[in-house]
Structure 1
Amino acid sequence: MGKPHIGEVDYLRVSGLITVVVIHAWGFYLLMPVNSPYSRIAKELGVNLLRFGRQIFMFITGLVLFYNYSGRKINLPRFFSRRLKNLAIPYIIWTALYLFLKRSSGMVNWTGFGGFLALWWQNVLNGNGYSHLYYILVAIQFYLIFPWLVVFFKPRRPGMTAEIITWLGLALYALYFYLLEVRQDLIWAAVAGTPLAGITGWFLLYKDRLIFSYFPYYLLGALAGLHLDSWRRWLQDHLEVVLAFLVLAAGLVASEYFYYYRHQGQPWALTISVFKPSIYLYSLAIITVLFQLSFYLERRGSLRWLVSPLAANSLGIYLLHPAVLFIFNSYFWKYMRLPGFLLAVLEPAAAVVISGAVSALLGSNRYTRFIIGEAGNLKNSFLLGKLQAVVKLPLGGKA
């Protein structure tokens, strides 16, 4: 689009992707009996401290879109047609595929083709096709409002705007967590028997897949995209402060886990809630630190051979990896005679590699590219590009 590619975004995207895969892999082991209590604590605490993948993706989405489209007139038909092809259609397809996967394990059932269509459409609307598809639904909502948001969101004082967004986000998540989650009974008592009961129940059920619930991450990413050079300088000038804040935020998250969950017996759902104020602050800190680290790695070209294909196939990996984990855990886990700590590392790695390979394979064919959307529209193999450059062959297809 006439603007230089933001190389550090690839590193940041891959960081978020890996944490998502690890959490989904470790979630299975948390359901299994563990001989050593320390092993369970390590996995539970790891899940707590790795719950920033979606926040990274949201920050990146805001950054890249505002970086590319600010100051430009958006061709709305072209903008929405690309999002339909690159995100909405794959989402619809994978919702159907995961329903069949869930049916194979008895998690859902339907009668006849009409029953399937009704259930499929319901899951397309609510994002319940599988545990990770809610994020695609949130992203689609952001794309729908973006052309109007980019017109009006033009802050003249980005520093002050960032502070306002950060504090308003903290207030939002304090409200979400302490009222809508911890004291949800108060909400139900207030609306019981009133016309608000229905819409309140709907909001409490689906608040984790509404764009409004994650607006701070998108807007902070938008600010970074609008003022990219200033954002980079700010990170370099304040890295020590941000690192100290990250340590404090991580300590707060860990302390809450030991006190509220291990000591007081808080429900696990509250312990890992992404709406906890501590998780919000921790996520912002980790995003800033990882962005600076990504900038450093990009300048040095470190791991570019690995990061490029993973970033290019990130959507495909995101869509595919739960199916890979499902198959692995359903059919292969019981035959593995490896220590638990080794499986905890090898399984996420295998899921990334297998999902990435399948994504690249689907994306390399114009007849299957629509299944994974965005990944099929990228030059998704850095190694392939190098090889073609050596043998003087042109890249096939358009990015």
Structure 2
Amino acid sequence: MGKPHIGEVDYLRVFGLITIVLIHAWGFYLLMPVASPYSRIAQELGVNLLRFGRQIFMFITGLVLFYNYSGRKLNLNRFFSRRLKNLAIPYVIWTAFYLILKRSSGMLNWTGFGGFLTLWWQNVLNGNGYSHLYYILVAIQFYLFFPWLVTLFKPRRPGMTAEIIIGLGLALYALYFYLFEVRQDLVGAAVAGTPLAGITGWLFLYKDRLLVSYFPYYLLGALAGLHLDSWRRWLQDHLEVAVAFLVIAASLVISEYFYYYRRQGQPWALTISVFKPSIYLYSLAIITVFFQLSFYLERRGFLRWLVSPLAANSLGIYLLHPAILFIFNSYFWNYVHLPGFLLAILEPAAAIVISGAISTLLGSNRYTRFIVGEAGNLRNSFPWGKWREHRAVLHGVGRES
């Protein structure tokens, strides 16, 4: 849109994408028996400490949109047309695909084409087509709200605004976690038979796919996009504090895992809940530290030849990778046996490579580009022909557009 490209966002996007694929791959292993209790602890802690990918993507979405559109007249037709082609249409297509995949494995069934259409429409509305599609539904909500938000959200004191958002976010997640998760049965019993029973039950089911549930991340990203240079300077001046905060937050998450889950027998769903106040603080610390790390890597061109195509195809990889993992876990590993530690590395790596390749193929053809949305808008997103050129600038300065 005429503004310099934010190179570090590519690195942060790829980092978030990798962690999402990792927890989707490793989550399957939690259902399998292990030889050592220490292996199980390592698996569970790995999944628990990597549950921040969605938060990274939400922060990036707020940052990029406000960076690009603030101070400009928003063309609503063009804005929503792009989101329709780049997100909404792929969402409804992949919802149908994953419903068919579920049926092929015996996880789901319907009667006739009319039954399929009814089920498909229900899943389009609630994001239940597959476990990862809820995020697309949240993003669509944010895009619908964005024209009003970009007009209203113009803070003059970004530091104070950030503190207020962080504080209100902490209060929101404390409310969510302790009322809607830890005390869900008591809250449900308290409102039973009252007009609040319906809305409360609905929140229990769908709170993880509502925009308000993640609004702090979008707003903090928006604030960073509005004041990008100030945000970068603040990170450089406070990196030691941010790293210390990350260590403390990670220690808190790990301590809760051992105390509440291992010692007191807390349900696993509560242990890994993204609405835990500790996970909220930990996610903010991750975003802060790794944005600065991404800035550092971008300025040195570290693996830019690889990061750029992965970032360009991040939506396609996100939509595709669960299907690749499903095929691996349902069929492929029945014939190929690898050590567990090697499988934990190779499977997510293979899912990313295969998903990226398919996304590139679909996005390179104008007749299939609509299937992967944003990936299709970036031509030659895997520039193997320019590999030597990328190698030559590996240690150069960051690009400006």
Query: Residues 341-360 of structure 1: matches in 2 within 5 Å?
Result: 341-360=341-360
> Following the alignment from structure 2 to structure 1, what is the Cα–Cα distance between the partners of residues 389 and 368?
25
> Following the alignment from structure 2 to structure 1, what is the Cα–Cα distance between the partners of residues 339 and 361?
32
Identify the residue that residue 164 of structure 1 maps to in structure 2: 164
1:41 is displaced (CA, Å) by 0.6
Structure 1 residues 135-144 or 30-39, which shifts more?
A: 30-39
Query: Residues 1-399 of structure 1: matches in 2 within 5 Å?
Result: 1-381=1-381, 383-384=383-384, 386=386
Indicate conservation of the 8 Å contact 2:360/2:382, yes or no.
Answer: no
* Change in 2 beyond 3 A, CA 1:209/1:380: farther
1:387 is displaced (CA, Å) by 6.6
Indicate conservation of the 8 Å contact 1:313/1:380, yes or no.
Answer: no
Indicate conservation of the 8 Å contact 1:359/1:372, yes or no.
Answer: yes
- 1:76 counterpart letter in structure 2: L
The sequence identity of aligned pairs, in percent, is 88
Q: What are the Cα deviations for residues 246-301 of structure 1, in whole angstroms up to 9, with x where unaligned? A: 00000000010111111111000000000000000000000011000000000000
Indicate conservation of the 8 Å contact 1:22/1:348, yes or no.
Answer: yes
| Other structure's SS at 2:207 match | helix
* Change in 2 beyond 3 A, CA 1:230/1:334: same
Q: What are the Cα deviations for residues 327-374 of structure 1, in whole angstroms up to 9, with x where unaligned? A: 010001122221111101110000000000000010000000000000
| Other structure's SS at 2:31 match | coil
Indicate conservation of the 8 Å contact 1:90/1:370, yes or no.
Answer: yes
1:179 is displaced (CA, Å) by 1.2
Q: Unpaired segments of 5 or more residues in structure 1?
A: 391-399
- 2:163 counterpart letter in structure 1: E
> Following the alignment from structure 1 to structure 2, what is the Cα–Cα distance between the partners of residues 361 and 254?
41
Q: What's the TM-score once normalised by structure 2's chain length?
A: 0.96
* Change in 2 beyond 3 A, CA 1:231/1:93: same
| Other structure's SS at 2:108 match | coil
- 2:308 counterpart letter in structure 1: S
| Other structure's SS at 1:219 match | helix
Identify the residue that residue 393 of structure 1 maps to in structure 2: none
> Following the alignment from structure 2 to structure 1, what is the Cα–Cα distance between the partners of residues 29 and 104?
21
1:105 is displaced (CA, Å) by 1.1
Q: What are the Cα deviations for residues 363-386 of structure 1, in whole angstroms up to 9, with x where unaligned? A: 000000000000000135252462
Indicate conservation of the 8 Å contact 1:312/1:379, yes or no.
Answer: no
Q: Unpaired segments of 5 or more residues in structure 2?
A: 391-401
* Change in 2 beyond 3 A, CA 1:343/1:41: same
1:187 is displaced (CA, Å) by 1.2
| Other structure's SS at 2:331 match | helix
| Other structure's SS at 1:74 match | coil
1:186 is displaced (CA, Å) by 2.1
Q: What's the TM-score once normalised by structure 1's chain length?
A: 0.96
Q: What are the Cα deviations for residues 26-77 of structure 1, in whole angstroms up to 9, with x where unaligned? A: 0111001111111111010000100000000000000000000000000001
1:242 is displaced (CA, Å) by 0.4
Structure 1 segments (4+ residues) deviating >2 Å: 379-390
Indicate conservation of the 8 Å contact 2:364/2:379, yes or no.
Answer: no
Indicate conservation of the 8 Å contact 2:59/2:220, yes or no.
Answer: yes
- 1:90 counterpart letter in structure 2: P
Q: What are the Cα deviations for residues 224-249 of structure 1, in whole angstroms up to 9, with x where unaligned? A: 00000000000000000000000000
Indicate conservation of the 8 Å contact 1:55/1:217, yes or no.
Answer: yes
Structure 1 residues 177-186 or 50-59, which shifts more?
A: 177-186
* Change in 2 beyond 3 A, CA 1:380/1:214: farther
Indicate conservation of the 8 Å contact 1:58/1:218, yes or no.
Answer: yes
> Following the alignment from structure 1 to structure 2, what is the Cα–Cα distance between the partners of residues 71 and 129?
37
- 1:224 counterpart letter in structure 2: A
Q: What are the Cα deviations for residues 132-161 of structure 1, in whole angstroms up to 9, with x where unaligned? A: 000000000000000110000000000000
Indicate conservation of the 8 Å contact 1:10/1:307, yes or no.
Answer: yes
Indicate conservation of the 8 Å contact 1:26/1:43, yes or no.
Answer: yes
> Following the alignment from structure 1 to structure 2, what is the Cα–Cα distance between the partners of residues 17 and 203?
27
Structure 1 residues 162-171 or 181-190, which shifts more?
A: 181-190
Indicate conservation of the 8 Å contact 1:87/1:140, yes or no.
Answer: yes
The number of residues matched between the two structures is 391
> Following the alignment from structure 2 to structure 1, what is the Cα–Cα distance between the partners of residues 264 and 335?
37
